[in-house]
């Protein structure tokens, strides 16, 4: 850069100018300096003899040309910058697309097969377990921590076993599901999951479910294992009985028995049996409503359901099932010694279910689906009723047994 500047000075006769300036102004009133860009600047320190030279630039074409060349060689053109931005954005989008593709093709089909994306079924399976656990805790002979741990185990087990039940159902019904509008896009029907993959996935779910079950006492392990007969066979009930919802209720509400035994190590018939039957009748109510979504396809394919069996008498039949459910829950609460808040919860349940039945539109699938999902709130209402109605009893019993708890009944059969 310095050589370029010096050559520029020679061509423009700069030295002659400097020589003349020094003769006229001995005291170096005119000074010059150059910058790296190839320009020369003159500066006048005083304005004697009417000489006014301030920051005068001597232009150098060659230096400007060189500067432009340097700028071009050392900077990135805008088109290259834009290209880099586009490539970076494309790479990020490709990474996101790859992740989304992996999720859609490898993970999501299994979630849909187990219905984990539809949590209502998990809640409906879990609520009877929670009722039973709460009732079993009222004697106060186990600490609160044991109750909470057991409730958490049952929640995990409900998620696993509901997923396993749905997988078994889809394996049995894959040919039927292909002919039903609502189920024709299920993973086994669409080919997103093969039959072999579904069976492997079922094995994983059952293994994890067994791991949860083995955390319970030996009585509960045997009782829970016996429910597998119902879990495997209930999807077939729609082929040979007009009341498959009763089989579903018998399977889905096994936790009403198992929860009590997990805390106490046995079943109290006066409490557990009416609770189980009432939960079964509740299942008939909400699953009959659910079955009305598919009744046209079911009739065409020869599939049986209470929606078709009850037909025009659906509402009176549901009222009868609701009466059985309320009667069983009232009897269970009386046997457990529950107070007024529990019966207030039953009244709320009765009002909710009666309104559902009264406003039900059996020929409207959207209305049926909405009313089916709302039943998850019923389970919570009843649980809150048990907690409120048994609170004082629990506190009194805990005072009696504090320090004398017997944890042997709640101890794991295999891992204690």
pLDDT by 10s per residue, the chain, length 416: 444 444 444 444 555 555 545 544 444 444 555 555 555 544 544 444 444 444 444 444 445 555 555 444 555 555 545 555 555 555 555 555 777 777 777 888 999 999 988 889 999 999 999 999 999 999 999 999 999 999 999 999 999 999 999 999 999 888 888 888 888 888 998 888 999 999 999 999 999 999 999 999 999 999 999 998 998 888 889 889 999 999 999 999 999 999 999 999 999 999 999 999 999 999 999 999 999 999 998 888 889 999 999 999 999 999 999 999 999 999 999 999 999 999 999 999 999 999 999 999 999 999 999 999 999 899 999 999 999 999 999 999 999 888 787 788 888 888 76
CA distance 260 to 134: 8
Tokens coding 30:
């005119």
Tokens of 182: 């609502």
Q: Which two tokens stand for residue 17?
A: 């100018």
For residue 326, what pLDDT is reported? 97
Query: What is the predicted pLDDT for the residue at 241?
Result: 92
For residue 312, which of 293, 298, 292 has the smallest C-alpha distance? 292
DSSP conformation class of 313: G
Q: Which of 331, 325, 268 has the alpha carbon at shortest distance from 132?
A: 268
Q: CA 73, CA 67: separation in Å to the nearest integer? A: 10
pTM of the model: 0.75
* Comma-separated ranges of CATH 1.10.357.140 domains in the chain: 104-392
Architecture of domain 104-392: Orthogonal Bundle (1.10)
76-97 burial, b at 16+ Cβ within 10 Å, e below that, comes to eeeeeeeeeeeeeeeeeeeeee
Residue 399 has a CB neighbour count (10 Å cut-off) of: 9
Residue 310 near residue 298 (C-beta atoms within 8 A): no
The count of other CB atoms within 10 Å of the CB of residue 177 is: 19
Buried b (16+ CB within 10 A) or exposed e, 228-267: bebbeebbebbeeeebbbbbbbbbbbbbbbbbbbbbbbeb
Q: What is the spatial distance between Cα 69 and Cα 191, in angstroms, rounded to a whole number?
A: 62
Which residues make Cβ contacts (< 8 Å) with residue 274, sequence separation at least 6?
Answer: 327, 328, 329, 331, 332, 335
Q: Give the DSSP H/E element, type plus range, for residue 56.
A: strand 54-58
Which residues, in sequence order, are CB contacts of 312 under 8 Å at separation 6+? none
Question: 10 Å Cβ neighbour count for 147?
Answer: 18
DSSP state of 339: -
Residue 14: which of 47, 38, 51, 40 has the closest Cα? Answer: 40
Measured CA to CA in angstroms, residue 407 lies from 140, 141, 412 at distances of 11, 8, 10
């Amino acid at each position: 850069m310095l050589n370029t500047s010096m050559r520029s000075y020679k061509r423009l006769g700069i030295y002659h100018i400097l020589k003349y300036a020094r003769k006229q102004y001995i005291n170096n009133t005119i000074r010059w300096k150059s910058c790296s860009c190839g320009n020369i600047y003159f500066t006048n320190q005083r304005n004697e003899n009417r000489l006014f030279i301030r920051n005068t630039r001597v232009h150098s074409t060659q230096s400007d040309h060189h500067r432009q060349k340097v700028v071009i060689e050392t900077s990135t053109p805008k088109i290259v910058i834009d290209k880099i931005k586009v490539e970076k954005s494309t790479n990020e989008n490709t990474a996101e697309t790859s992740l989304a593709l992996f999720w859609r093709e490898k993970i999501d089909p299994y979630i849909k097969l187990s219905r984990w994306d539809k949590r209502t079924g998990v809640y409906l399976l879990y609520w009877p377990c929670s009722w039973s656990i709460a009732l079993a805790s009222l004697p106060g002979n186990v600490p609160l921590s044991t109750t909470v741990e057991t409730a958490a185990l049952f929640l995990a087990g409900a998620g696993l076993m509901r997923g396993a039940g749905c997988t078994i159902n889809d394996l049995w019904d894959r040919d039927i599901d292909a002919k039903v509008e609502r189920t024709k896009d299920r993973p086994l029907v669409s080919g997103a999951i093969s039959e072999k993959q579904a069976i492997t996935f079922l094995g994983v779910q059952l293994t994890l479910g067994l791991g949860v079950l083995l955390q319970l006492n030996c009585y509960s392990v045997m009782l829970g294992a016996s429910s597998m007969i119902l879990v495997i066979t209930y999807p077939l009930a729609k082929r040979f009985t007009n009341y498959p919802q009763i089989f579903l209720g018998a399977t889905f509400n096994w936790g009403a028995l198992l929860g009590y035994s997990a805390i106490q190590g046995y079943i109290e018939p006066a409490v557990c049996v009416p609770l189980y039957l009432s939960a079964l009748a509740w299942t008939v109510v909400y699953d009959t409503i659910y079955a009305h979504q598919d009744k046209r396809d079911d009739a065409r394919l020869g599939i049986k359901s209470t929606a078709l069996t009850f037909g025009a008498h659906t509402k009176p039949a549901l009222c009868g099932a609701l009466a059985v459910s309320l009667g069983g829950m009232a009897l269970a609460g009386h046997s457990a010694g529950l107070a007024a808040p529990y019966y207030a919860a039953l009244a709320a349940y009765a009002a909710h279910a009666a309104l559902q039945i009264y406003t039900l539109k059996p020929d409207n699938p959207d209305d049926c689906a909405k009313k089916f999902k709302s039943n998850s709130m019923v389970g919570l209402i009843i649980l809150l009723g048990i907690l409120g109605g048994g609170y004082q009893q629990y506190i009194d019993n805990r005072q009696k047994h504090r320090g004398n708890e017997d944890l042997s009944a709640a101890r794991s059969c295999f891992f204690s």
